[in-house]
């Protein structure tokens, strides 16, 4: 079955991890995909692996409204926007710098706003669209040492709910998926940080994070991609304003 046949998706932060898995799943479900990221080499490598379903790659810094507008202007109209680009940094609140705070908001929240705003005119004109933002369980609860990241992800959820209400009668749905600790490069960076800060072994650090998931495992990028594809499908037309936890029961 190809429920997304004829739909064009833009996936931000597409080069690796969750973004790459989402792009692959959307193509498998019939969509064509434009890959957006910060490094052409990694985008090109993924495009080569995914094949004909990729219609283009775009290098863009989503924290720049000008770059986002330019990127959207050079690709086909977007029916499916996947706001996946993000970044996590950790520090106690007392040692979080102004630059760290601004960076977490810019990458995780402001970039999501810029991309969503940029695709809205074509979706409104067509009377159909799907916007799915990859938030985090950190949009639903607090975690120590990542206050800036959690604040930004809470903002993504507020943006999602407000925009969903604005366009609810216009054929457009707006949702967020909220993964728990997911087996990606970002997780590996977090493990390395724990090892460096605490002296624990890598295995102990990984176990401390997987313990948040009642299933006792890390979420896979494919788990997240499956939920995103479902929210994009025509049959999910009644699903809007949702924050869907993908966390093995960590958040209920």
Whether 115 and 194 share a structural domain: no
Q: Each residue of 81-136: pLDDT tens digit?
A: 999 999 999 999 999 999 999 999 999 999 999 999 999 999 999 999 999 999 99
Across the range 124-149, mean pLDDT stands at 97
Across the range 49-57, mean pLDDT stands at 97
Q: 147 lies in which domain range?
A: 8-180+220-244
Whether 195 and 235 share a structural domain: no
**CATH at 156:** 3.40.50.720
Whether 160 and 187 share a structural domain: no
Q: Could you give phi then psi for residue 77, rounded to 5 degrees?
A: -55, 140
Residues whose CB is less than 8 angstroms from the CB of residue 212 and which lie 6 or more positions away in sequence, other chains included = 137, 180, 181, 247, 250
Whether 158 and 190 share a structural domain: no
Q: What sign results for the dihedral spanned by CA atoms 135, 141, 146, 150?
A: positive
What pLDDT sits at residue 1? Answer: 76
Is 249 part of any domain? no
DSSP the chain: --TTTT-EEEEESTTSHHHHHHHHHHHHTT-EEEEEES-HHHHHHHHHHHGGGEEEEEE--TT-HHHHHHHHHTSPPPSEEEE-------B-GGG--HHHHHHHHIIIIIHHHHHHHHHHHHHHHHT-EEEEEE--GGGTS--TTBHHHHHHHHHHHHHHHHHHHHTTTTTEEEEEEEE-SBSSHHHHHHHHHHHHHH---HHHHHHHHHTTSTTSSPBPHHHHHHHHHHHHSGGGTT--S-EEEESTTS--
What pLDDT sits at residue 194? Answer: 84
Is 130 part of any domain? yes
* Percent share of the chain, pLDDT over 90: 87
Does 129 or 209 have the greater pLDDT score? Answer: 129
Domains of the chain: total: 2
Whether 207 and 224 share a structural domain: no
Q: Which of 114, 143, 145, 149 is catalytic?
A: 149
Whether 106 and 16 share a structural domain: yes
Angstrom distances, CA of residue 55 to CA of 9, 23, 33, 200, 208: 10, 11, 6, 45, 41
Across the range 213-218, mean pLDDT stands at 92
Q: pLDDT confidence of 64, banded at 50, 70, 90?
A: very high
Q: pLDDT confidence of 208, banded at 50, 70, 90?
A: confident
Whether 72 and 132 share a structural domain: yes
Whether 139 and 235 share a structural domain: yes
Whether 121 and 44 share a structural domain: yes
What pLDDT sits at residue 187? Answer: 77
Whether 156 and 209 share a structural domain: no
What pLDDT sits at residue 169? Answer: 98
Buried b (16+ CB within 10 A) or exposed e, 217-246: ebbbbebbbbbbbbbbbeebeebbbbbbbb
**Counting every residue, how long is the chain?**
252
Whether 164 and 204 share a structural domain: no
**pTM metric for this prediction:** 0.93
Instruction: Please say if 143 is a catalytic residue.
Output: no
Whether 114 and 205 share a structural domain: no
Q: What is the mean pLDDT of the chain?
A: 96
Is 3 part of any domain? no
């Amino acid at each position: 079955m190809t429920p997304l046949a004829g739909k064009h998706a833009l996936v931000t932060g597409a080069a690796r991890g969750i973004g790459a898995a989402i792009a692959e799943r959307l193509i498998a479900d019939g969509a064509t995909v434009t890959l957006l990221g910060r490094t052409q080499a990694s985008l090109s490598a993924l495009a080569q692996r995914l094949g004909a379903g990729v219609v283009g790659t775009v290098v863009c810094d989503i924290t720049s409204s000008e770059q986002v507008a330019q990127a959207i202007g050079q690709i086909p109209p977007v029916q499916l926007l996947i706001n996946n680009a993000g970044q996590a940094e950790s520090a106690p609140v007392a040692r979080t710098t102004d630059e760290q705070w601004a960076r977490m908001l810019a990458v995780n929240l402001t970039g999501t706003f810029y991309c969503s705003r940029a695709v809205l005119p074509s979706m409104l004109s067509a009377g159909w669209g799907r916007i799915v933002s990859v938030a985090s369980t950190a949009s639903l609860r607090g975690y120590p040492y990542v206050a800036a990241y959690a604040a930004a992800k809470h903002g993504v959820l507020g943006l999602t709910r407000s925009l969903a209400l604005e366009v609810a009668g216009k054929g457009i749905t707006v949702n967020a998926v909220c993964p728990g600790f997911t087996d990606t490069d970002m997780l590996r960076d977090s493990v390395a940080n724990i090892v460096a800060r605490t002296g624990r072994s890598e295995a102990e650090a990984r176990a401390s994070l997987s313990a948040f998931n009642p299933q006792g495992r890390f979420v896979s990028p494919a788990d997240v991609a499956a939920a995103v594809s479902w929210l994009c499908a025509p049959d999910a037309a009644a699903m809007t304003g949702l924050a869907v936890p993908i966390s093995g029961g960590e958040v209920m």
